[in-house]
Structure 1
Amino acid sequence: MTPQELKNSILQLAIQGKLVEQRPEEDTAEKLFAQIREEKQQLIKEGKIKKEKPLPEITEDEKPFDIPESWMWVRVQEITCLNPKNDLPDELEVSFIPMALIDDGYRSSHSFAIKSWGGIKKGFTHFADGDIGIAKITPCFQNRKSVIFRDLKNGYGAGTTELSIVRVVNDLLSRDFLLWFFKSAYFIENGVKSFTGTAGQQRIHKDYLAMCVLPLPPFAEQKRIVAKIEELLPYIDRYEQAWSKLEQFNSRFPEDMKKSLLQYAIQGKLVEQRPEDGTAEELFAKIQEEKHRLIKTGKIKKEKPLPEITEDEKPFEIPESWMWVKLGSILHYIDTGKSFKCDEVQPTGNKCGIIKVSAVTWGKFNENESKTCYSSDSWVDEYAIHENDFLICRANTAALVGGCVIVDKISKRLMLSDKVLRLHFSKMIYPFYVLWALRTPLVRNQFSSVATGTSESMKNISQEILKNIIIPLPPLAEQKRIVEQLEQLLPLCERLK
């Protein structure tokens, strides 16, 4: 049960006479109702309130649930005065309350500004200390912007015209009981059914409040109901706090689980190590031999040696068959793109274009995140994107720079942009392992600490930074087993969202 459902349930029990016991010595609602009518008649005679039109009798069909025998069904207007007017000196300072100064929810609180009565007596709703204000416009009505006005400047105020005002007759009713009724799901849901007006400007029907059928308990029982609700409120608050923490945990859990799985993967704890797989040192030696051959044959360029990895740079223990490497040591080379003049729409037909950084940002290559070159003559074969390309974003926000994908399929004629790099790894490296390694907190933290740029909205990682990124390297066969396990487990995390 959500906190909202719990509150609704308690209020429903309250207005059905099930929250506290009935006591014979407290008389009946019928006697209370007769007393209220007498008082209203006296006020009419004295000219303090206007005579109201008679309301229709309450039919059996209008009674939504059973109530105790000592209670009585009444219409709100029969027991209160609605939308009264204040007659005050223009110079008197009073409270001014627009809708924004009334809190929503299940509490009763408001603030106010101070103005002279003469400046606000026209065009605004009047009220006084002890009056109940109820928002009548959506979404304020559903959000329970309802309040008992208290401690107003000189006891009076005016405010938004989107309030209905309920005034209790000579303290014969518990204002707090009425307020809890006006916050009940029964009152709110029936009010919504009465809405009139266009979308965004809908209000409760002009007669809804007056005609609303209210279950009236004896006065003493009203007070006991309010006391019981107030006794329960601290427990409800604690429940709500616990619920919020649980909701936060549940919302974080899929992403936290994903991070944990990736961390386990690069620590060698996700799959077992097998002696027959050989070691990462043996694999690394073969990769270096391969690079030397390619340099000799002129297929790749010789680069300056990367600094050795120090013990302080190794953030955690890894299996004996693994080794720490820098990304540049298992790369053959990096392709850079180019900036072209483009139209901000994706290319169609035989037109060519370049990818945006958003094409590689969200974990899967999206060719629709692209722009169309003004001329097909812009096409350059060496920048063309192909299936199985390993792409990484070198410029983006601090949270997204370094986002990477492997192109699974492509149907458009697209090229690299100047903000996306293409990495060419040794054939003895399983690129999907590197893909997941670059998405781990280990590497994301490295990107965060070394990315350049003064603005959080645009950070950069150079090729030199990329080559010096440190990752743990398992034997090739184990790389593949790790990826296979991740591909089984990570979709389960997504289903938890």
Structure 2
Amino acid sequence: MSELPKGWADAELGDLLNIQSGFAFKSSEYKDEGHFLIRIGNVQDGEISLAKPKFVKLNEQTKHFELLAGDILTSLTGNIGRVARIEQQHLPAALNQRVARLMPADKLDDDGYLFCFLSSPLFREALAALGKGGAQQNVSPKTISDIAIPLPPLPEQRRIVRKLDTLSARTTTARTHLTAIAKLVEKYKAGVLAAAYSNKETEVTLGEVIDGIKAGKSLKCDERPPREGERGTVKVSAVTWGEFRPDQSKTFLTGFQPDPDTLIKTGDFLFSRANTIELVGAVVIVDETPNNLFLSDKVLRLEMSENLKPWVLWFLRSPTGRNQLQDVSSGNQMSMRNIGQAKLKSLVLPLPDEDHRQRVLDSIEAAFAKIDRLAAEAEKALKLTDRLDQRILAKAFAGALVPQDPTDESATELLARIREARAAAPKPKRGRRKKVAT
């Protein structure tokens, strides 16, 4: 470290922490109750996950691995450097291998500054630079001990933490509101479509609008998109997400000759007749497609005049259309529903004259453009809050977030007191698995 404010000191985490790695409990030791075993998967960013709990019984050999409320834990393998605290709700709990407990020195009567540093990108980046291994990185307690930390005087640490808490509360509130906008976008769009298709004076059935329905076949295929010179068929996911996705396809086995009339072309109106209850009946108009994809038994082509395609598309995406699609879908399981062609043709939609339809479509396009701009601005602002948090932390660890007080005990003196106290303290006991006599 360099150019630290007056009263600050360069330190290493090993100067400020006692680091205890967990005990290698065997799966044969897992119990139905006892101490909640904190394994690496339970340590997430900022929280302890209660998913897939395992329990152990502690004994004389392993009692030193019992955790207390407030203990700071970090992951030593895989996604290294995830940091979280043990809360009262997690107790009784025990420390498993590949997880480390970070215990602040006695003279640090407030670990808030340390926790802020350990939870920051600075700690994660330092660990990532020192980690060993390939896809599965790992670090040791010694690695953590060697990481440098800028250390302010203890009173200033408390001032920094209070300031960070205040600023964090503000960015958290902003992030909550901005995240909510993404959910509101779909609600606003649904409202626009509901209003667009509310006129029921000129209702017809979909069967009166379309000229025909074309389907492909259900075939065994290679589960990969076709390469150049190959042909394939589309999956339902190719039409599920609002635009045609040619990469969501699979390849015909050698020798199969598809019906040329099932070739998917630009401008085709595609309909997914099978999917979950929320997604069945998804529709797209193909913008552009490679000349080697064909309809499947679950992705149909609805044939109709070009000027009707946008009107039918937005109707089937509207709340009125979606409700009808879900009502006519069949199947005993919510995970997979089906819509037969007769039921599809029975759907009822408004069909005003062409001029009226065009005005409605123009209003939908204009409203959606405004909503999408709002959503894009919210997403941009959300990213800015993350950058703001990082800048605030950078200022905090550079001594630029709160003013210094020349009357504070210096960090150098604090470090000297910590080292003196640690030298006089008895060495902590470590649990080791006893060898079985043979």
TM over 0.5: yes
**2:273 aligns to what?**
394
Q: Which amino acid aligns with 2:239?
A: V
Q: 1:79–1:127: structure 2 CA closer, same or farther, 3 Å change rule? A: farther
**One of 202, 209, 225 as aligned partner of 2:158:** 225
* Separation of aligned partners in 2, 1:351 and 1:187: 49
Conserved? CA contact 2:20–2:101, under 8 Å: yes
* Separation of aligned partners in 1, 2:289 and 2:123: 53
- Correspondence 1:183 to 2:62: no
- Correspondence 1:357 to 2:236: yes
**2:177 aligns to what?**
246
Q: 1:476–1:77: structure 2 CA closer, same or farther, 3 Å change rule? A: closer
* Contiguous gaps of at least 5 residues in structure 1: 1-61, 85-93, 268-317
**1:439 aligns to what?**
317
Q: Percent identity?
A: 26
Conserved? CA contact 2:203–2:350, under 8 Å: yes
* Separation of aligned partners in 1, 2:263 and 2:125: 62
* Contiguous gaps of at least 5 residues in structure 2: 22-33, 377-438
Larger Rg: 1
| SS class of match (1:329) | helix
* Separation of aligned partners in 2, 1:324 and 1:387: 29
Deviations 1:236-276 (A, max 9, x none): 78646634531332222443343333334324xxxxxxxxx
* Separation of aligned partners in 2, 1:83 and 1:246: 40
* Separation of aligned partners in 1, 2:205 and 2:56: 64
* Separation of aligned partners in 1, 2:39 and 2:288: 54
* Separation of aligned partners in 2, 1:406 and 1:255: 20
* Separation of aligned partners in 1, 2:16 and 2:323: 66
**One of 117, 141, 156 as aligned partner of 2:60:** 117
| SS class of match (1:431) | helix
Conserved? CA contact 1:390–1:424, under 8 Å: yes
* Separation of aligned partners in 1, 2:224 and 2:37: 49
* Separation of aligned partners in 2, 1:130 and 1:393: 52
**1:469 aligns to what?**
347
- Correspondence 1:196 to 2:131: yes
Q: 1:380–1:117: structure 2 CA closer, same or farther, 3 Å change rule? A: same
**1:308 aligns to what?**
none
* Separation of aligned partners in 1, 2:294 and 2:189: 32
Question: Offset of 1:461 from its aligned partner?
Answer: 0.9
1:420-439 alignment, distance < 5 Å:
420-425=299-304, 430-439=308-317
**One of 334, 341, 363 as aligned partner of 1:456:** 334
Q: Which amino acid aligns with 2:142?
A: K
- Correspondence 1:260 to 2:191: yes
* Separation of aligned partners in 2, 1:152 and 1:362: 43
**1:405 aligns to what?**
284
Conserved? CA contact 2:116–2:161, under 8 Å: no
Deviations 1:415-435 (A, max 9, x none): 4332233333368x6222111
**2:385 aligns to what?**
none
Deviations 1:103-157 (A, max 9, x none): 6666899998541123x38xxx8689799655362667633236699x998xx98
1:376-395 alignment, distance < 5 Å:
378-395=257-274
Deviations 1:154-174 (A, max 9, x none): xx9865364265464xx5441
Q: 1:384–1:127: structure 2 CA closer, same or farther, 3 Å change rule? A: closer
* Separation of aligned partners in 1, 2:231 and 2:128: 55
**1:4 aligns to what?**
none
| SS class of match (1:459) | strand
* Separation of aligned partners in 1, 2:363 and 2:250: 32
* Separation of aligned partners in 2, 1:365 and 1:408: 7
* Separation of aligned partners in 2, 1:418 and 1:82: 60
Q: 1:187–1:174: structure 2 CA closer, same or farther, 3 Å change rule? A: farther
Q: Which amino acid aligns with 1:217?
A: P
1:55-94 alignment, distance < 5 Å:
62-63=1-2, 65-68=4-7
* Separation of aligned partners in 1, 2:71 and 2:39: 14
* Separation of aligned partners in 1, 2:224 and 2:95: 54
Deviations 1:251-309 (A, max 9, x none): 22443343333334324xxxxxxxxxxxxxxxxxxxxxxxxxxxxxxxxxxxxxxxxxx
**2:296 aligns to what?**
417
Q: 1:212–1:334: structure 2 CA closer, same or farther, 3 Å change rule? A: closer
Deviations 1:343-365 (A, max 9, x none): 44555667655443334333334
* Separation of aligned partners in 2, 1:435 and 1:463: 17
- Number of paired residues? 359
- The structure showing larger relative contact order (alpha-carbon pairs under 8 Å, at least 6 residues apart) is 2
Q: Which amino acid aligns with 2:324?
A: Q
